Structure 1
């Protein structure tokens, strides 16, 4: 009898315990539970940067090509590749009997370039006037100039299909690029026309370095790099979308004593054309490009000219595309991280765990930079099962494992340890 009673009591007690465990810890339990959290951080301010590391090359800001269309017009070349030239320097002497026809050709070219410039100014004025109000406009100008009896034909073809403000901005940028190219050509032609007619010659339109001399062929030409040096690199679409004109840049190279700072000077909106710079970049870039057109030129201007580096020198460019003074948490502490927003957890004023929506504009060193949702002084917490707990939930934090040093112990005094450890 006593044995049966004992077994019955044991069964009843076991069932009671099992039922209470189920009520406490089942998914449907409404009893508040505490979570042991061993990963936590108190938010402290810091400066964070999102950067893009790129291979870059020292390139000229402008390349000027001075040429004659008559292969027999040059009597003597006065320059070689690598020579330094100044504005107005003679780079080749023209044959006297052919000089008149060459001057006429330059005059006709100047007239055509001036017409192109006038057309582009009109397009720019129209685009800027309509930009604020137009939703779907188009500007199409096709001008062909054949000045006098010259064989030179110059064409301007600018077509813009505008559907939004971004398209206006791109169209204006492209028109301005074309205008800059025309101004550069005008500088070359006008330098030739301003020379002393008694000694016809090819004249340098700029201070710079002779990079190439074509002494044979139908068209004889000299290519001159301008003195101003830029850093040129290339970006694919995912990087291009982040890089903006004015972004801070840091340039490093073994022959530079210090890091040179600068900024992004231009971001091309059209695929890069084949050039020696792009060819060199492709040989160093390890990222595979499925789309051969997915490559855009990025040009950077340094705060001080890199005189110690020759044209073509390979440098390391660090482009800072985002920076902020904020707090941060480890990336894996964030749930539902998408489109610059996520869910994190922190302690509320009562020390309970609560969920908070955070804004994460960018990442830095495997940490999410928090713009909203967490502030300096907040305690961010994380546990792999934290999403399973209904908020607000109790949190158990581990005791600090860092013990005071012997000097700290002596400085603080044992009476204070007793006071704060046991009495208060």
Structure 2
């Protein structure tokens, strides 16, 4: 057996070292237990996470015990724990399975860990570990745990190995300090505002204040709120597909990404896609709508970030206020999004717009219009935007292609500068 096969088996739960197993049966026996009531002759737990009565079963006994373990031993606030969570809640509309326990970060939205619970007579085998890891990968958690109430096994995400066994963490606080896996899956929005509601500018100003700049024009508000909701709506997921300039590998839904800036790092929530360029390079590309500038002079931008595996940075900050042309046609009000080609190249400042446009034209000429601007797509105000609508798909193809062209342009310019310095 070669070395890579050995490490794979360990990660899948075979030959599990006792170092990574924690015997918790004695600990669970002394912890406060969930209240039991009897209804129509049947025993029920009151689940504080779901806030309802749950029938007592062998698996539920373990689940409630582990909730107590996280609460009293690892000091996890009960408000950051969810039990029996449908995967549909996190965007997987075709899945009927449920995660036993989810541990959230202190933001109350992003997932820190998933726990797979089995009845006490079920052994934690490689198949159980594989099931646990499937949940962890789908939800992009930092930690993954498996337990039968007798033993407790911990896995943690590693950039090189994926999910690998580790010693059980000592506390929830310790778990929260880890950010190796930077893109946890976000909970799906349960309900969207309809277009009629979004036509009320006062409503949009009040409820979308965190994503729309204060100086953004009134006539853009409905569209921007609709676009933001469309990016957040993970009931619709783009399938794997070959586009003109790239291949979409996976639509991850809404996840947290950590961005590198000259001033340091910050986290934000983006609709994240895994794509592969024609050159075979793989990227995670995120997009969201957010304010641009300093109060009270904020405008609104479409922020596109790229994670190339080494760093995550802004590839494009498209200011909607100056890059949307509003017109009317047979379908209704039309929002035409374009860009003049103004970008930054690392710490060297703005590139020459003429050079950028020439590079785009040489790579994908259909993006350049007669007005010598990069045209990215059109939207009408007649329907809710979701990622699977034809207008969004055309926009998606153009904006992702343009983003990767800009990445190649930056690499080209930085490469030329490096070569000149070496000369």
TM tier, smaller:
under 0.3
More contact order relative to length (CA 8 Å, sep ≥ 6): 1
